[in-house]
């Protein structure tokens, strides 16, 4: 069976940066499965997997525009420590959910620097601006259930209860 829209795909993968450093990888304890065509993975990898079958292996390099986008410096801001009410100790690398200024939606921000009461946050995805290199093996391709298609994601054994 070939990978196409509304197929569940199970992958083994290793993700590295341009220097070959491992960023992420699948493991035997928890298989990586996604619903093809439902925007569950980055566009460049989804395109590279289209038409592949169980047992296929590929290495693909995904540019930022097909991954998490280019870095946008306008998404970096310096805030006063007092804006982090209820957090006793701030540390570089901490992440928070923040609302958009216009009140629409939420996004994740990461603390990138702390200088006294000045706290720098970055709302870019941590992998924005990076070319991502995937070494992928397709382990399984199957038809998605009607429920998986309706919900837009893969369900585990026995279904998924929202």
How confident is the model at residue 22, as a pLDDT? 97
Domain range list for the chain: 7-68+127-151, 73-122
Contact 66, 43 (CB under 8 A): yes
Task: Please tell me the CATH code under which domain 7-68+127-151 is placed.
Answer: 3.10.50.40
Residue 79 and residue 137: Cα distance in Å, rounded? 44
How confident is the model at residue 30, as a pLDDT? 73
Task: Please tell me the CATH code under which domain 73-122 is placed.
Answer: 2.40.10.330
Contact 155, 148 (CB under 8 A): yes
Predicted confidence pLDDT, tens digits, the chain (162 residues): 999 999 999 999 999 999 999 999 998 777 799 999 999 999 999 999 999 999 999 999 999 999 999 999 999 999 999 998 888 899 999 998 887 766 677 788 999 999 999 999 999 999 999 999 999 999 999 999 999 999 999 987 655 555
Residue 80 and residue 90: Cα distance in Å, rounded? 12
* Residues with Cβ within 8 Å of residue 60, at least 6 apart in sequence: 44, 45, 48, 133, 134, 136
How confident is the model at residue 105, as a pLDDT? 72
How confident is the model at residue 98, as a pLDDT? 82
- Within the chain, what is the greatest distance between any pair of CA atoms? 58
How confident is the model at residue 103, as a pLDDT? 67
């Amino acid at each position: 069976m070939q990978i196409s829209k509304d197929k569940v795909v199970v992958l083994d993968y290793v993700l590295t940066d341009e220097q070959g450093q491992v960023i992420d990888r699948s493991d035997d304890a928890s298989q990586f499965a996604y619903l093809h065509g439902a925007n569950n993975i980055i566009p460049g990898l989804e395109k590279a997997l289209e038409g592949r079958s169980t047992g296929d292996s590929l290495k693909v390099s995904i540019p930022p525009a097909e991954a998490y986008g280019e870095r946008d410096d306008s998404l970096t801001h310096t805030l006063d420590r007092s804006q982090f009410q209820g957090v006793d100790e701030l540390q570089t690398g901490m992440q928070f959910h923040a609302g958009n200024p216009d009140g629409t939606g939420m996004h994740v921000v990461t603390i990138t620097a702390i200088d006294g009461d000045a706290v720098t946050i970055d709302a870019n995805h941590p992998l924005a601006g990076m070319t991502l290199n995937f070494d992928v093996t397709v382990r399984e391709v199957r038809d998605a259930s009607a429920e998986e298609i309706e919900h837009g994601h893969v369900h585990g054994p026995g279904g998924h209860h929202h």
